[in-house]
Amino acid sequence: MNTKQWLSAGLLTVTVSTAQALPYGFFDARSVAMGNVSTATGGLQTAAFANPAMMAVNEGDDTFALIIPALGLTAIDKDDMLNKIDEFQSQPSTPSGIQRQVDILNEINGSNAIVDGTANAALIYSGDTYTFGVDYRLFGTASVSVVNVATNINTLTAEADLAAFGYAGQELGVSIARDFSVLGMNLSIGIRPKTISLEAIDHIESVRTVDENSIRDSIEDLGSLNTVDAGLVLDVLDTLRVGLTANNLISDSFTTSTGGKIDFDTHLRAGVALNLGFLTVAADMDLDEIKPVRYEDPSQMMAVGVEINTFNIVQLRAGYQTNLASNSTEPDLISAGVGLWLGFHVDIAVVKGGDSLGAFVQTGFRF
């Protein structure tokens, strides 16, 4: 068995078999490259995911926008845990082999590995008064951790369990947005009713025997929920915009057969953006702390990003984000990306921090 293969396969199996649902995730290549800022900067194509009110802003004055599709993947493997588990399983049942197993388990005791993936598609129509959108998103996250470690070289004991938890789903949203004039300022408001269905893996097994089949056999259907996202954007000046978005206004939770809980709580995020045409500078901040699902750290992100726009043909982007949540041990993240207009959009982003590495690719049209 190759542990990396079953971790990836476990996530993809759930994602394909029904597929999505992070409380606040990453939605498009532009925002990822800019540090995951999106509340006051989301373009027409991706605004429904990040802040539905931004659909009514429509900076490019386009009538239609289409994503086909946007794909992203982020992976974290602390302490090179997955390779070390493979090494553990390959050791012979000899004193030297057991000694190496003891050393490996002591090295990775409490370590974890996490994979997040998403795929988005959307179609937006901007009319004279209202802007409408329909979108579909597949999403999934899988995490594993080494627990219950028991080692003793004198008694030739080298035992531990691998606890795996993952969930994946599919999300369908329908959005509507409109702008108003308030005290001489432009105010845009948007809502996005959505339905989410979810599957999960909640499995624990000895590191000696765990394999891809045992992980797949633990997949279970958790059902679905209906909820609403909403947002607003206010143009304080021609170049200065502030935004607020609320995800999952109707909160709910799912529970696996073994007691694992996945919460879809209401989550608020605020953002500000300075747009000078050739240069955009933006910042976002979570207004509340997101609880970890299982082995992740809690999350309350603050992000800043910049975009340099060259003749609306090439966009160069960079960003930084840090986790302000209490007890978080996650490293800060840096990101970069490029956007190209070739008669259609191609956007690419990468993000790096500590042991984590992520990438996002997106294509689409607007006209």
Question: Per-10-residue mean pLDDT for the chain, 367 residues long?
Answer: 47 34 62 92 84 85 82 79 87 90 89 83 91 92 86 86 86 95 92 94 86 77 94 94 96 84 89 95 93 71 95 94 82 92 89 84 86
pTM: 0.83
Quote the DSSP letter at residue 288: S
- The pair of structure tokens assigned to 112 is 């974890």
Output b/e per residue, 236-253; b: 16+ Cβ within 10 A: eeeeebebbbbbbeeeee
Measure the CA–CA gap between 154 and 236, rounded to whole angstroms: 70
Residues 6+ apart with CB under 8 A from 357: 74, 75, 350, 351
- Asked if residues 54 and 61 have their Cβ atoms less than 8 Å apart, the reply is no
Residues 6+ apart with CB under 8 A from 220: 199, 200, 201, 202, 256, 257
Per-state percent for the chain, helix, strand, coil, to nearest 5: 15, 55, 30
Q: What is the phi/psi pair of residue 53, to 5°?
A: -65, -30
Torsion (CA) 321, 322, 324, 325 in degrees, nearest 10: 100
Look at residue 21 in the predicted model and tell me its pLDDT. Answer: 29
CA angle 123, 265, 51 (to 5 degrees): 30
* H-helix or E-strand spanning residue 104: helix 95-108
For residue 10, what pLDDT is reported?
A: 45
Tokens of 68: 């086909």
Residues in the chain: 367
Where do the H-state alpha helices sit in 118-200?
A: none
For helices 95-108 and 81-90, the axis angle rounded to 10 degrees is 160
CATH node for 3-366: 2.40.160.40
| Dihedral sign for Cα atoms in the order 197, 203, 207, 210 | negative
Q: Which of 366, 334, 320 is nearest to 347 (CA)?
A: 366
- Residue 29, helix vs strand vs coil: helix
Q: Check residue 176 and give its pLDDT.
A: 97
What are the φ/ψ torsions at residue 51 (nearest 5 degrees)? Answer: -160, 100
